[in-house]
Every structure is written in C-alpha cells, then in structure tokens.
Amino acid sequence: MKQVLIILFVLLINNLAYATDWESSSDFRMGYVEYDYANPPSKTSSGRIDSRGVYLSSKTSILTPKYQNFSLKATVAGVTDFGINNSEYETRNYVFDNGDKSSFAIFQEFFISYLDETNNLTIGRQEIVTPLVESDDYYFIANSFDAINYINSSVNNFSFHLGYFYQMSGVWDSGANGTEFHSMSDSSFVDKKDKVNANNSGVVYGAVEYTDKNQRFKVWDYYTADLYNMLFLEYIYSNSNSNFSYNLGFQIVNYKEVGALASNNYTNIDYSIFSIKFDGDLNSDLSFSTAVTKYTNGEGQGATLGAWGGFPTYSYGLAHSFFNMGSLQNSMVSKIHISYDLESIGLTNTSLSYRYTNYALDSVHSNSEDYMILNGIKLSYSSSNGGYFKAIYEDRDLDNADGAFAVRIIGGYKF
C-alpha cells in the first residue's frame, strides 16, 4: 500500500510541475554490486559472506516557487531488485534491510526552507551534508534526516551553523532498519543497552567556518545526550599558479563518551583521528591526492565511525565494505590516488582513477591481522544532458585471510 501511495504521489507532483511554474526533477539509476570474499553462503567459515545483486532505484522531487524567500520541497524514493536476486547473497550489499530483503519506498524529503543573502533555515525531512552527518548516496538512495538547521553568513568570510538531527533513514549508515526512520541514537552502532539508555536522543550541533582566498578553517561540534560528543577540526590551505594548483589539509576528529554511556561499560568510546592530505592538479589532465590518517589507541572506533553517514578522514578506499579485520584502533592508513581526464583521447566528461590504500593495523585489535592493502580502479562519466556512469573494481589483500574483491557498476539519468 505504501508503494502504491508513493507512485500516485510521483504522478501527482509531475502533473503539478507541468501545470504550474513549480520545478520537478527525477533520478533513475540501475546498478550491480558484488563483494567476493571467497566465502559463499554454503561454505561454513568465519568472515563475511559473498554478496551480489542488481538493483533499480528512482527518486522524484518537486520544488515550489519562492515566495517571500520561502520554498517547499518534497521527494519520494524507492529501490527494487525485481525479485531476481538471491537473498542469501545480499548480506553485504547495503541496499535492502538485512532483516527484510525486499523492495521499499520512502518519503525521503519534505521540508520548508528560508533563504536570503545571509540566512538559510531549513526545517523538515532532508538530505544534509556536514563533516560527520551527511547524505552519502554511496549506493542507491541517500541518507535522509528529520532536522532543523540554520546557517548565518552575515559576517564576511565566516559562516555559523546551528542545528538538530532527530532521526534518519539510510541502509548504508544506519545501525537500525535503514529503510525506515529511527532516532539518531537508535541509528548509532553502540550496544543495544546504550541505545535504550539514550532514550531516542538526537544530535545537537554547532559550527564556525572561516574561508578566504587561500584558507578554510572549520570547527564543528556534535553532542548526543547519553552517547558521545564529536569534535571536528579542519584547516585547508590552497594555492595555484599557471601550471599547478594544490591544497594541503589537516584534520582532527575526537570522539568522547558522555552521560549514561560514560557511566557503564556496555560501550567504551574515547579516541581521536588525525589526518593530513596533499592534493594537486597539474592544470592538465592529471590530478592526484595523497593522505595519511592515524587512529589513536582509545576504544570505540567500531561504535562510531561512519555511524550516521560522515566519512571525514582523507584516506578511505573506493569501496567501504572490506572492514572485516576487527578494529582500526591504533592503526595508520595511507592513500595515493591518481586521476586522469580522458578528454584528450576523445572521451569527453570521462575520467579514469587509480587508488592505493594501505592499512597498517594493530594485530592486538584487528583479529591478529597486521595489514590490509586495497588497490582500486574507477571509471567515471557524466554528461551535460543528465546521464552518468561509474564503475569501480577494488582488490583486497588482508593478512592471514583469503583475497577478496569488490565490483560496483552504477549508471543513471537525471532530468
């Protein structure tokens, strides 16, 4: 019944857009994902299980005209596999909920916003991008949040942020049923007892950002009562000349337990992440990105990292589903990424990338593994008329484990 109502809603808003000066947009994407761990469901061994599947997702939005700087937006979205996938091979695909591997549809956005030269206020269900809580449509449907957020830019070079997230959906990043909306505390990855103690807490945040011609500095703080506090600091320096442009970035993220979670031992959270990056563009067809990230020896990394869509560190691999070696506690990660624009050989709007990521692990915390190495290749295409395509292959070499690889091929059309 829910899917039928959403289909009717899509037809209604498209008719409204044609009949009025309202704006409508749609995004249809189809893709194939596979994670091969050399461990099929029929094989009884430890570790993650081979996963693969074909999916189609659709998203349709309508945006009202501005009236006195106010506007309203509504979005519906859904995913289906047409019933052709083998559910035994869908444990790592992060498209359907693992407890109910079936097609679903949601009202993903419904918000009112106010925007003028210095104020930006949004209230309602929305996709959001901040350093630690973001939309993150890594697969088929982006995360969505019931939230209030405000940005003020009345002071030159500064922006001030204040907001509150109450609940979210998102199969990839939610610790609850990601095909439905759950409170931010329930969507975290802490122990179930800590989720109960948090009593459906949301996330309160505040931030200050400074930007000028060459510099950008961010300070963000997120607080979830009876779970943990997250402090994010980042400084980026950018410069360029006729032949070369670059940016140098430093980043610190700190996670610290608070309230009821700090009063018990169900989950322990007290660690930091330090990152540095150097990215460059040769003002030709070649660009590169390098980064090193250090995780401190404190506890709780598995209960927080990426829990609500934020992947702030500079050194991730291309496909984020190989972390079956335990914790990143006390580890160091380094990355080299090279991208080449293929326009010079006649392939317009097309790029080819290679990424090497090395995880120097602490075997005490990582299931006796000392290292993990990822080698990945990505082919990307996007056209001015709305078509897009992305294909990723990534190979994993994990100490004391079988080799593994990931494939992600997604294409679509926006109009």
Cβ atoms of 289 and 352 within 8 Å: the answer is: no
Q: Which residues pair with 79 in a beta bridge?
A: 57, 104
Domain locations in the chain as residue ranges: 1-115, 119-269
Amino acid at 331: S
Residue 98 has pLDDT above 90, yes or no: no
Residue 349 has pLDDT above 60, yes or no: yes
* pLDDT, mean of residues 147-171: 97
Cβ atoms of 186 and 240 within 8 Å: the answer is: no
Length of the chain equals 415
Residue 17 has pLDDT above 60, yes or no: no
**CA-based Rg of the chain, rounded to a whole angstrom?**
22
Per-residue pLDDT reduced to its tens digit, 385-394: 999 999 999 9
* Confidence (pLDDT) at 384: 87
Q: How far apart are CA 59 and CA 8, in angstroms?
A: 14
* Confidence (pLDDT) at 106: 93
Per-residue pLDDT reduced to its tens digit, 119-139: 999 999 999 999 999 988 778
251 vs 46, 254, 313, 345, CA distance in Å?
35, 10, 8, 37
What backbone phi and psi angles, to 5 degrees, belong to 9?
-65, -40
* Confidence (pLDDT) at 237: 98
Residue 10 has pLDDT above 60, yes or no: no
* Confidence (pLDDT) at 163: 97
Cβ atoms of 307 and 175 within 8 Å: the answer is: yes
Q: What token pair was written down for 194?
A: 């800590």
* Confidence (pLDDT) at 20: 60
Lowest model confidence (mean pLDDT) among 74-78, 254-258, 308-312: 308-312
Q: How far apart are CA 88 and CA 40, in angstroms?
A: 9
* pLDDT, mean of residues 42-69: 88
* Confidence (pLDDT) at 44: 60
User: What DSSP character marks residue 11?
Assistant: H
Per-residue pLDDT reduced to its tens digit, 202-223: 999 999 999 999 999 999 999 9
Closest residue by Cα to residue 13 from 5, 22, 4: 22
Q: What is the CATH number of domain 119-269?
A: 2.40.160.10
Mean pLDDT of the chain: 91
Residue 11 has pLDDT above 70, yes or no: no
Per-residue exposure over 7-25, b if at least 16 CB sit within 10 Å of its own CB, e if not:
eebbeebeeebeeeeeebe
